[in-house]
Structure 1
Amino acid sequence: MSKRNSQEAKRAARERLRIEREKQAKKEKVRRQLFVGGAVVGLLAVVGGVAFAVTTLGGDDGSDKDWGAAKNAKLVQPANAEGDKGTTVVLGGKDAEKTVDVYEDLRCPACAQFEQQLGEPMKKGAEDDKYQLNIHLGAIIDGRFGGSGSKNAASALGAALNVSTEAFKEYHGLLYSADHHPPENEDKFADNEYLLDVAKNVDELKGNKQFQKDVNKGTFDKWALEMINSFEDAGIEGTPTVKIDGEVVDTRQLPTKLEELGVKL
């Protein structure tokens, strides 16, 4: 081998090594952020619980809705919902052999961090038919600390799903985004005006009179409660929880598992 070819081979090897190191560093950063998010959620829950204890002593859950009445209301399933009682939301990959199930609480700060880090790549993987992506919504924070934001935001997402799966997908991402996800001890999602304000950033929802009517009327409140019941029946105790082919995956290992499924992080 000539001296020139030898130098070029060495440079190519160094470049491959550099790229691989950068790739591994990126994966490790995501793992650390997910681990920190999971570790601090318990502390945040305690802090949030103190705040809610103060704000809910008078029986005011931050919403004018009668969720007790919603339990007895007629079930209206959103268009594009699937499964028993429409509680399955599929965001792509319906013909894929693999399944990824994501269990979230819309008020959960760890879920927001999770979505900000991995939400878009996971949705892209489903769009590319790497797997079927199913979204499940719970209301753990509402139940433990009071308020109704988890339920109310789920109902608003039902209204978005009634418009289209794409509208649901985009709105779901925005509700978890750094710009719009409120602190855990602020039950902003109980406020329809706040939810509608966020929805203005989604083309299909902006100025959509039927969507606005459904949010304000609570058309999909019963559906949201059925979704939450389905979540609880799955035995989920903490969020976010991710299952691949029915098996719970440690969030610290999720980036590696997703790459094995062909997801580009």
Structure 2
Amino acid sequence: MSNRNNQANKQAARERLRAEREQQKKKEKVRRQLVVAGAVVGVLAIAGGIGYAVLKANEPTGWEAAKEAKLVAPAHTQGENGTEILIGDKNAKETLEVFEDVRCPACAAFEQSTGPALLKDIEDGRYKVRFTMYTFIDGMGGGEGSKKALNALGAALNISQDAFLKYKAALYSAKYHPDEREDVYGKNAELLKVAAEVPALKNNKAFETAVEQGTYNRWVTEMTALFGRKGVKGTPTFMHGDKKLVIPEVPQQQMTQEQYNQLAQANFKKMIDKEFGPAKGTAPDADKNGGKDGAKDKESGGGKGIREGEPTR
């Protein structure tokens, strides 16, 4: 082979090597650019993820979030934010206000012994009743049973006032009402189990969905905000206008449950007769001055109860 051909081959080899090196450099440059770009995207993604996580961490949860949710008030309510639960004959001239907390043991004792007497007065049109449901025991004892039970009561009220009254009675019943230190009603399953006692609620899908999803949780927070209304901070409490009514205490003595219930109902009747006068068709009890004192109280400004739409705060 001539020297000229040998030189040409060497030159061609060097050119091929140089071209390959240039190509390799270009590939390496592109690779580095892609790596840098990927790193930037990764950093931005991480930063964005951290930012999103921080935002989520700072978002209110649970009942704090419920305060900012859309307000859904149950049917058969009225007043500001639907916080007036007014039940009874619309033509009844008087209104008795009843303040309760579902976890309250004293409320349960009242409902178990005297609830039927209260319901009879409502049915007879003697007065309307406005129920104000508190949830302060959750704050005192921990848990969320009062609030979750109130959401369930709202779901029952959305169906009918009768379903509300019957479900409330079942929640307070000796069969189901728990010790106030136990947050039993903080479990939806327990609330639904109690609801099975009420025909209108048993296997009612709309009711069950409202309980499970907390449909009326925002409404519950509005009801909870009424704590201290008219100075009431304990339950059960009874008001007629701005006047607090007091049920005479049942004597502390050994007795059967039936005897206790009879005395409790008699004492409730004393309180009501004194404030509103005797029920229609009954004679005044002269010894206890029921009718006389009741008429006097009304004439002296005992109050005529609330009207529809009266300010609630």
Instruction: Work out whether the TM-score is over 0.5.
Output: yes
Residue 81 of structure 1 is matched in structure 2 by 77
The reply to whether residue 103 of structure 1 matches residue 99 of structure 2 is: yes
Structure 1 258/100 Cα, relative in aligned 2: closer, same or farther at 3 Å?
same
Residue 38 of structure 1 is matched in structure 2 by none
Residue 165 of structure 2 is matched in structure 1 by 169
- The SS at the match of 1:234 is helix
Q: Specify which of 247, 257, 269 is matched with residue 255 of structure 1.
A: 269
The reply to whether residue 94 of structure 1 matches residue 90 of structure 2 is: yes
Return the letter of the residue paired with 1:168: F
Rounded Cα–Cα distance in structure 2 between residues aligned with 1:120 and 1:227: 25
Residue 108 of structure 2 is matched in structure 1 by 112
Q: Gaps spanning 5+ residues in structure 1: where? A: 1-64
Q: Is the 8 A contact 2:246 2:271 kept in 1?
A: no
Q: Specify which of 163, 179, 184 is matched with residue 183 of structure 1.
A: 179
- The Cα offsets for residues 85-118 of structure 1, whole Å up to 9 and x where unpaired, read as 1111122132111110000111000010011121
Q: Is the 8 A contact 1:123 1:133 kept in 2?
A: no
Q: Is the 8 A contact 1:92 1:129 kept in 2?
A: yes
Q: CA deviation at 1:255?
A: 2.8
- The SS at the match of 1:104 is strand
Tell me: higher relative CO, structure 1 or 2? Use CA pairs within 8 A at least 6 residues apart. 1
Q: Structure 1 length normalisation: TM-score?
A: 0.72
The reply to whether residue 221 of structure 1 matches residue 217 of structure 2 is: yes
Q: Is the 8 A contact 1:130 1:261 kept in 2?
A: no
Q: Specify which of 227, 230, 235 is matched with residue 231 of structure 2.
A: 235
Return the letter of the residue paired with 1:105: D
Rounded Cα–Cα distance in structure 1 between residues aligned with 2:278 and 2:234: 24
Larger Rg: 2
Structure 1 164/250 Cα, relative in aligned 2: closer, same or farther at 3 Å?
same
Q: Structure 2 length normalisation: TM-score?
A: 0.61
- The Cα offsets for residues 142-185 of structure 1, whole Å up to 9 and x where unpaired, read as 11121111111011000000111110010011101111100111
Rounded Cα–Cα distance in structure 2 between residues aligned with 1:74 and 1:232: 24
Larger CA deviation: 162-171 vs 90-99:
90-99
Q: Gaps spanning 5+ residues in structure 2: where? A: 1-60, 249-266, 283-313
Q: Percent identity?
A: 43
- The SS at the match of 1:242 is strand
Q: What is the count of residue pairs matched by the alignment?
A: 200
Q: CA deviation at 1:261?
A: 4.7
